[in-house]
Amino acid sequence: MSAAAAPSDAAASVRVALVGAPNSGKTTLFNALTGARAKVANHPGVTVEHREGTLRGTDGTVRLLDLPGTYSLRADTPDEKLAHDLLLGLLPDEPRPDALLVVVDSTTLARGLGLVTHVLELGLPTVVVFTMIDEVRARGGRVDVPRISRLLGVPAVGVVGHRGVGLPAVRRLLQEPSRWARPEKRIHAQNAEERFDAVDRLLREAGGVPPKRDRRTERLDRVLLHPVAGVLLFVAMMVFLFQSIFTWAVPAMDTIDSGFAALGDLSRSRLPAGWLRDLWTDGVLAGVGSVLVFLPQIVILFTLIHLLEDVGYMARAAFVVDRVMGWVGLQGRCFVSLLSSYACAVPGIMAARTVASPRDRLATILVAPLMTCSARLPVYTLLIAAFIPAAPVFGPLGLQGLVLLGLYALGTTTAFVIAGLLNSTVLRGTPATFYLELPPYRMPTAKLLATQVWSSTRAFLRRAGSIILAVSIVLWGLLSFPREAPDPTVPPQVHARQQIEASFAGRIGHFIEPAIEPLGYDWRIGVGLFASLAAREIMVSALAQIYAVQEVDGFEGLRHALRNDRDAQTGEPAFTLAKALSILAFFVFALQCTSTVVVMARETGSWRWPALAFAYMLGIAYGASFLTYRVALTLL
């Protein structure tokens, strides 16, 4: 067999593309080889853009590309088209890879070898890596990797990616991929039937022992996929998820809250009076600290979601919900994208690339922002903790957790209803066939789970250290200028209120107050709504800064301030349960995230669809908030 030619530029790095089916362990292998922290989950459709990293120990001379999962080189979805075009060198700004590393799940050998035979037709230097070798052995099977290597005419290695088994051999091969042999034994199939026949012959020649049926997975699936029991267990899982957010996070939240309060007191006592001290205490600490106090809840949310993904339950949830989604013209694969939107709408929208039907993909993108993302959680938690009593309802279930679950359910239900309306009007068409691989149940390692949670948490912290910090500083400036001259005859709290009303932010709030007054909002809520267009959680930052001027610090202080705020003229409570419920209703529906709007425009190729989404969600939010406020005034 002939040797592969080295890259034309000797100084250039060699680029090796990782190709494999969804859920084959490709991204786990990529992370292990590069030290990257790409997301890994036990359901198809995680990698929606290709990632690039450097092979450890090569000083950049070997670059690895983690491509989206694909079952063949036939491009049915945008993510599969990305893999197809890159492998064939059709992307204008991306050179064709120098070599390929094909990842095959050993538990589904026939399907994986079908992809291998397809990839070998490209004629690029290729290595095949068989993952899940340990699982095959545990189920009484055996894969003869050396024999398959000889039959295919390319190097092959068996690995257990998350435990490091076989990785040294893969690294040795990757260190000099320009010396790999080009495959000469290729299977040229004219259609899928010929390819399946060729793979069957290959498996017979390769010998080995197929793994026994996974009885544990079958037993669990009989319950979790049951049309009645499966739905009930899904609901129970969601109740547990949101109840735990309130119950488990309290001690850590109190610790963070006390830390920021102490830091604020220390800053006021040590720093000289002036606008710099005010910027630090009332702008940075009050703004960013008011959001970071919710970090424990967000960590719990990410931990439970990643655990359910890694175990393999989320793929089952997609099948369970598919029965409901069929009523609105969507398929279960769309629910995988919507599930991702619970953490953040941006990756959820990008994950819609795995949906083959353009109609279903567009409908999913247009309703994904209705799924309750983690950015809404600080607003929900603040208002629920301030105005909903922590009363038990049934056993360990509390009223606050059930209200939070209700908000999530309201957003999800509305997303389904809107999807149904879109598919019966502007997106009318024939529903696509739903297919989704159900992975075996796998318990993730503690290291993998910790890595995933840290990656998601780091994104939240980066957001707090960039967008929220920047907006908090700008908002502090708008709240602090122009400066009102102090009046010695006026109490400090009254002067602070006058300063806010006379500021640029106060003027903005008063300008939009007539439009939001029917919802029960005053100009201060208007300031928060205006600021939250950048990111939803800035609503809490805005309220914290407004009340920080009145020397109220920390989450407990802000919650206390909202409950005890009084109208300056009437003396009546300024922030009532009716107003809190009205704000909650608004935040369930409104599209207040600049990043989401930009990504929607990029994924749809037009600003028309984001404009439609922003307009219809704002209309629903306004109507729901108005109705909620009026009904609450009548009943409460």
Whether 9 shows a pLDDT value over 50: the answer reads no
The dihedral formed by the CA atoms of 84, 85, 88 and 90, expressed in degrees to the nearest 10:
170
Give the residue-averaged pLDDT of 350-361.
84
Of residues 326 and 630, the one with the higher pLDDT is: 630
pLDDT band at 11 (very low <50, low <70, confident <90, very high): very low
pLDDT band at 44 (very low <50, low <70, confident <90, very high): low
Whether 180 shows a pLDDT value over 80: the answer reads no
Produce one character per residue of 309-323: b if its CB has 16 or more CB atoms within 10 Å, e if not. Answer: bbbbbbbbbbbbbbe
Whether 353 shows a pLDDT value over 60: the answer reads yes
- In what helix (H) or strand (E) does residue 158 lie, and over which residues does it extend? strand 156-158
CB 383 within 8 A of CB 584: yes
pLDDT band at 6 (very low <50, low <70, confident <90, very high): very low
Q: Token digits for 180? A: 């790999």
CATH no. of 14-212: 3.40.50.300
pLDDT band at 435 (very low <50, low <70, confident <90, very high): low
- Reported as a single tens digit per residue, the pLDDT across 187-214 is 777 777 777 888 888 888 888 888 888 8
Q: Token digits for 635? A: 């009943």
Whether 476 shows a pLDDT value over 70: the answer reads yes
Q: Looking at residue 622, what is its pLDDT?
A: 98
The CA–CA distances, whole Å, from 189 to 167, 200, 434 equal 32, 13, 26
pLDDT band at 329 (very low <50, low <70, confident <90, very high): confident
pLDDT band at 510 (very low <50, low <70, confident <90, very high): very high
pLDDT band at 41 (very low <50, low <70, confident <90, very high): low
Q: Looking at residue 433, what is its pLDDT?
A: 61
Phi–psi pair at 144, nearest 5 degrees: -85, 85
pLDDT band at 521 (very low <50, low <70, confident <90, very high): very high
Q: Looking at residue 163, what is its pLDDT?
A: 75
Across the chain, mean pLDDT equals 85
Q: Looking at residue 552, what is its pLDDT?
A: 46
Q: Looking at residue 487, what is its pLDDT?
A: 75
pTM of the model: 0.80
- Per DSSP bridges, beta strands 51-54 and 62-66 are antiparallel
Whether 576 shows a pLDDT value over 60: the answer reads yes
Name the residue with tokens 């969601």: 238
Whether 410 shows a pLDDT value over 50: the answer reads yes
CB 8 within 8 A of CB 48: no
Q: Looking at residue 221, what is its pLDDT?
A: 93
pLDDT band at 417 (very low <50, low <70, confident <90, very high): very high
Whether 87 shows a pLDDT value over 80: the answer reads yes
The CA–CA distances, whole Å, from 211 to 142, 207, 631 equal 7, 13, 60
Whether 466 shows a pLDDT value over 70: the answer reads yes
Give the residue-averaged pLDDT of 284-302.
88
pLDDT band at 40 (very low <50, low <70, confident <90, very high): low
- Reported as a single tens digit per residue, the pLDDT across 271-289 is 998 889 989 988 898 888 8
Q: Looking at residue 633, what is its pLDDT?
A: 95
Domain boundaries, the chain: 14-212, 229-424, 458-635
Give the residue-averaged pLDDT of 463-483.
88
Measured over all CA atoms, what is the biggest interatomic distance in the chain, rounded to whole angstroms?
96
**Alpha-carbon span 369 to 362, nearest angstrom:** 13
* Lowest-pLDDT range of 377-381, 413-417, 430-434: 430-434
- Reported as a single tens digit per residue, the pLDDT across 535-565 is 899 999 899 888 864 444 567 888 888 998 8
Q: Looking at residue 12, what is its pLDDT?
A: 63
